Amino acid sequence: MSGSVRRAMPSIEIVAKEAGVSTATAGRALGGYGSVSRKSREAVQAAAERLGYRPNSLARSMITGLTHTLGVLVPDIENPFFSRALRGIADAAHERGWEVLLVNTDEDLALERKALGVLAERRVDGLVVAPTDVADRDALQAVVDAGIPIVLLDRRVPGLDADTVGIDNRAAAKDATERLLKLGHRSVALLTGGDEKLRPKLSRPGLRGVERLAATTVGARAAGYRDALVEAGVEPRPELVSAEGFRREDAAAATRRLLALPDAPTAILALDSLLALGVLQALRGLGMRCPADVSLVAFDDADWAEAISPPLSVVAQPIYELGAEAGRLLLDRVQGSDKRFTHRRLPTRFIERESAASR
């Protein structure tokens, strides 16, 4: 056993009594505000040290109106995209003396709504939200109206008073698709992971349709994919757009289905790295080789992308920077910035490795 066991933490009143001053003076000595004589300060600090005093930040927050806490709402922290982005957010927050309260929403609208309520009750100073695709604009706006600024990460919510940080999904997807087309591929599949409604929209979009499509992340990328095809004079084939689910097994199944098609795709664009793993797994199962039989390009430069055989060509997003920028933007708002809402697009980088070959 080391040191004495104390159950309840001492309050500033106890410290003041021990130091022989008033609570007001003790507060000033420890909090670094107001003015205190050297003698008082030293007496208080010694007493605090002796008693193992820790200020109660709850009481402080009640007075100051600041919790120095940022809420972070992500679909799933296990997803490498979000864990890396969270790291960026946390670092930005920490750097300026803020902490991070994390909630997973599981892409579940009801959970997201409930979490917003909980975080509002905790009086977080601001919120970084990666909303579900069908985000509840009103619930988010209500939080903003209550005085809690929001920064959206990765996805956008039309009409919401919030800053946004993300990439140009449409341009990035278009670029990736163009690269596959330039390699001679004419039958390029798109693995989106979700949003069943995409496929029909993609076939006969009309201008209005494409614009509406581009509102979600997946939608924007699908639109970019389509842009590239159309510009290259390749007719988009709805059956080449797969939206079976977000899990690896879903992607594997989708790949098997795609490759069984008449006039099967010779190249696949996967919208995230987990889906790419599914493709790889399916190819291995089918005895097909990448890139000899099928070329593959994926979004996100996962840590394994460079190490596997063949190394995967990817659209790299600056994920950490996305999170850090969101954190900084949010803290600016928290600290009183009332600039117009910005929609920041960070640049992506195509990393050419060996999984996409000419045909």
Partner DNA sequence: CCACAGATTGAGAACGTTCTCACCCAAGTG
Partner DNA sequence: CACTTGGGTGAGAACGTTCTCAATCTGTGG
180 is in the binding site of which of a second copy, DNA, none (Cβ under 5 to 8 A by kind)?
none
Q: Least distance to DNA from the beta carbon of 18, Å?
A: 12
204 binds DNA (CB under 7 A): no
Stretch that binds DNA, among 5-13, 68-76, 175-183, 334-342 (CB under 7 A): 5-13
Give the one residue of 24, 110, 118, 230 binding a second copy; rule: CB under 8 A.
Answer: 118
Give the one residue of 52, 56, 95, 358 binding DNA; rule: CB under 7 A.
Answer: 56
* Cβ neighbour number for residue 104 with a 10 Å cutoff: 18
Distance CA 307, CA 324 (A): 27
Q: Least distance to DNA from the beta carbon of 112, Å?
A: 23
Of 226, 240, 316, the residue nearest 273 (C-alpha):
316
Helix, strand, or coil (residue 114):
helix
Binding mask 14-33 for DNA (x = CB under 7 A): -------xxxxx-xx-xx-x
Binders in 141-170 for a second copy, by CB under 8 A: 141-142, 145-147
Give the one residue of 38, 39, 54, 340 binding a second copy; rule: CB under 8 A.
Answer: 54
Looking at the Cβ atoms of 37 and 64, the one nearer to a second copy is 64
Distance CA 83, CA 77 (A): 5
Q: Least distance to a second copy from the beta carbon of 230, Å?
A: 32
233 CB-near residues (< 8 Å, 6+ apart): none
Helix (H) or strand (E) holding 203: helix 198-203
Distance CA 290, CA 115 (A): 43
20 binds a second copy (CB under 8 A): no
Token digits of residue 135: 């985000």
182 binds a second copy (CB under 8 A): no
92 CB-near residues (< 8 Å, 6+ apart): 323, 324, 325, 326, 327, 328, 331
Question: Measuring CA to CA, how many Å separate 337 from each of 97, 268, 273, 341?
Answer: 17, 44, 36, 10
Looking at the Cβ atoms of 47 and 243, the one nearer to DNA is 47
63 binds DNA (CB under 7 A): yes
91 binds a second copy (CB under 8 A): yes
Looking at the Cβ atoms of 55 and 209, the one nearer to DNA is 55
348 CB-near residues (< 8 Å, 6+ apart): 167, 168, 172, 175, 315, 316, 317, 318
Looking at the Cβ atoms of 59 and 261, the one nearer to DNA is 59
94 binds a second copy (CB under 8 A): yes
Q: Where are the beta strands (DSSP E) in 43-195?
A: 69-74, 99-104, 126-129, 150-153, 163-167, 188-191
100 binds a second copy (CB under 8 A): yes
Token digits of residue 351: 């990393």
307 binds a second copy (CB under 8 A): yes
47 binds DNA (CB under 7 A): no
Question: Measuring CA to CA, how many Å separate 294 from each of 13, 189, 268?
Answer: 72, 10, 7
Residue ranges that bind a second copy, judged by CB under 8 A: 2-9, 52, 54-59, 61-62, 67, 69, 76-78, 80, 83-84, 86-87, 90-91, 94, 99-104, 117-118, 120-123, 138, 141-142, 145-147, 248, 274, 277-278, 280-281, 284, 302-304, 306-309, 311
Instruction: Report the interface residues with DNA, using CB under 7 A.
Output: 8, 11-13, 21-25, 27-28, 30-31, 33-40, 53-56, 59-60, 62-64
